[in-house]
Amino acid sequence: ATAGGGRCSVGQDVTCPHSGGACGGHQCCPGVPETGGRSFVCPSADPAWRAKGFCQLPEKLVDCLAPHGPGETTEEPGASTSTTAAPKRAKSNTTTTAERTTTSPATTAAPAAPTSTSLPLPPPITWCERPVFNYSLQWSAEGRNFFDEFDFLTSDANNGAALYLPRDEALRAGVATAAADHAVLRTGARAGTPTWPKRESAKIQSKHGWKYFLMMMKYTHVPWGCGVWPALWTHAVGVPWPNGGELDVLEYANDGAQQASFHTGEENSCKLDEQVTNACKPMPDTNGMGYDCDTAYPDKLGCAPNSLPLLPGEVWSREGGVIAVQWTPAFLKVFHIPSDEAFEDSEGDDPQPQDWDEWLVSYYPFALSEAKSPGSCPDPANVMAPQHIMLNINMCGDWAGKIWNTSGSCVNVQGPAYPSQCRAVDPLMEYDPQGDCCTQFIYDRNDTYGTSEYLHDRAYFNISWIKVFQADHDESVPDGRSGDLHV
């Protein structure tokens, strides 16, 4: 599109004309970084939409008034004077890390004055949704009371070797511990019997749920290692899985790579548009499902748009940092900000996720996908029911056990010899924990493999805090709605 007007494609960077031209409404919202710091007002935009961070559905075309700088006002036809607020916090033009120096689009210098017929285009940038929300802290789990914010669940739907302990037992066994500045969730002692081999672990679910939020977790260590299957994820309570939606924020098994993924069902079906998803930054579907988020195992795995390279859990654990999830009525984003690149608003109570796309690792543009391909994601604002936060450490089972023979640092390195002494068993096909390489390593009946020490050094979350922020329009559900529908 040109500065003189014309139709704009979804995801296309554009400068709106002075007046009378047509442009994508979502690109004319006041103060969006994509306009090089300039502000536009769309007279035909519904104020309720604008309050949520975007003017209106992007396939609708509107006429834009003349641009105004941040903090200036303009009067819409038939409307009272409106004000575009200046950013809450000034950021330096340049962000410097050990590896790269980048310029923040939100602080791009204002372009030269426009001519009488057109505005100059802002510096070229990659399109990515960056609405500005006024987030406020709604919930936190930290310090000695960390586990008071969670229910301890005991069921396992993944045929794993984890024996999830109730709260009192988990605290007594040291599987869950909390100190003044951190909390630890880890695997524990051998449990069960030789015919039902298990190892102690924990699975916790937040007592509160939220619809739309910014969730942030600061950590110094995440579980990794052979036989280990950890997860930080969200799901809906009281809704049959996967119709309420599930986001796997952090999940991997054995020495495999971390990847985020999203799961929907028949009632909340959603397929992301490949072009839109990759317009933000390259995001291949690492599940190989063509960006189809519908899930029905074993054939349909859900969508997993992830930036490359994918890194194993060991690397994530060494780096530490902040993992964040932003869910709005239009999209989901997952960020990972390593500890050596952290800055004030990534660790404080005034988060500014519109500035975090440098650390974007997974992106789900529900509304833009539907706008480009009607019917592909028909209800983007409700693709998930209110979500509860989950943390657990499973072992073996449907994933870590099944792929043991392809996990290079595990097979014939840890545990019994493959294939002479054990097999990589798929529990969905058969139940044979006594013949499963992974389960026998985790159980370590006679302390042959040194598994207890191995897991003690690797298989634990060390979490500084978890916080949930919401914008004014976001919703929450009351405490006490606990459940255990899917893991």
Assess if residue 480 is contained within a domain: no
Same domain, 211 and 356: yes
Report yes or no: 235 and 241 within 8 Å, Cβ to Cβ.
yes
Q: In sequence order, which residues have a C-beta less than 8 Å from that of residue 357 and are 6 or more positions away?
A: 128, 130, 280, 281
The per-residue pLDDT string of the chain (487 residues; one tens digit each, 9 = 90 and over) reads: 333 333 333 333 333 333 333 333 333 333 333 333 333 333 333 333 233 233 333 333 233 323 333 333 333 333 333 333 333 333 333 333 333 333 333 333 333 333 333 333 333 334 689 999 999 999 999 999 999 999 999 999 999 999 999 999 999 999 999 999 999 999 999 999 999 999 999 999 999 999 999 999 999 999 999 999 999 999 999 999 999 999 999 999 999 999 999 999 999 999 999 999 998 899 999 999 999 999 999 899 999 999 999 999 999 999 899 999 999 999 999 999 999 998 777 777 999 999 999 999 999 999 999 999 999 999 999 999 999 999 999 999 999 999 999 999 999 999 999 999 999 999 999 999 999 999 999 999 999 999 999 999 999 999 999 999 999 866 655 443 333 333 3
Q: Are residues 55 and 184 in the same domain?
A: no
43 in Cβ contact with 13 (< 8 Å): no
Domain stops at, among 40, 66, 92: 66
Contacts of 464 (CB under 8 A, 6+ apart): 142, 181, 182, 218, 219, 220
Q: What is the DSSP string of 66-116?
A: --B-TT-EEE-TTS-EEEPPPPSS---SEEE-SS-EEE-GGGPPPPPPP-S
Q: Which two tokens stand for residue 400?
A: 């870590």
Q: Which residues pair with 248 in a beta bridge?
A: 233, 261
Residues 18 and 157 in one domain: no
Does the residue 306 lie in any domain? yes
How would you classify the pairing of strands 136-142 and 101-103?
A: unpaired
Residue 190 and residue 453: Cα distance in Å, rounded?
A: 12
Nearest one of 182, 332, 343, 139 to 249, comparing CA atoms: 332
What pLDDT score does 346 carry? 79
Q: Is residue 240 part of a domain?
A: yes
Tell me: do 294 and 384 sit in the same domain.
yes
**Given the structure tokens 């009371």, which residue do they identify?**
145
What are phi and psi for residue 378, nearest 5 degrees? -65, -20
Q: Is 447 contained in some domain?
A: yes
Domain boundary among 41, 66, 91: 66
Of 66, 87, 102, the domain-final residue: 66
Largest CA distance in the chain: 84
What's residue 478's pLDDT? Answer: 46
The residue type found at 45 is: A
* Domain harbouring 449, CATH code: 2.60.120.200
Quote the pLDDT of residue 345. Answer: 76
Assess whether 321 and 409 both reside in one domain: yes
Regarding whether 168 and 251 lie in a shared domain, the answer is yes
Burial class of 193 by CB neighbour count within 10 A (0 to 12, 13 to 18, 19+): exposed
For residues 305 and 178, membership in a common domain is answered with: yes
Q: Clarify whether residues 293 and 197 are in a common domain.
A: yes
CA dihedral 393, 396, 398, 404 (to 10 degrees): 130
Whether 314 maps to a domain, the answer reads: yes
Are 313 and 170 in the same domain? yes
Q: How many domains does the chain have?
A: 2
Pair 446, 197: CB distance under 8 Å: no
Asked whether residue 303 is assigned to any structural domain, the reply reads yes
Smallest CA-to-CA distance from 162 within 148, 150, 152 is with 152
Residue 131's φ and ψ, nearest 5 degrees, are -65, 150
pLDDT of residue 301: 97
How far is CA 484 from its chain centroid?
21
User: Does a structural domain hold residue 481?
Assistant: no
**Domain membership of residue 260 as a residue range:** 135-471
Q: Which two tokens stand for residue 56?
A: 């209106």
Structural domain contains residue 418: yes
Same domain, 256 and 165: yes
Is the bond preceding residue 242 a cis peptide, omega within 30 degrees?
A: yes
Q: Residues 360, 239: one domain? A: yes
Could you tell me if 28 and 174 lie in one domain? no
The DSSP code for 468 is E
Residues 209 and 477: their CA atoms lie apart, in Å, by 5
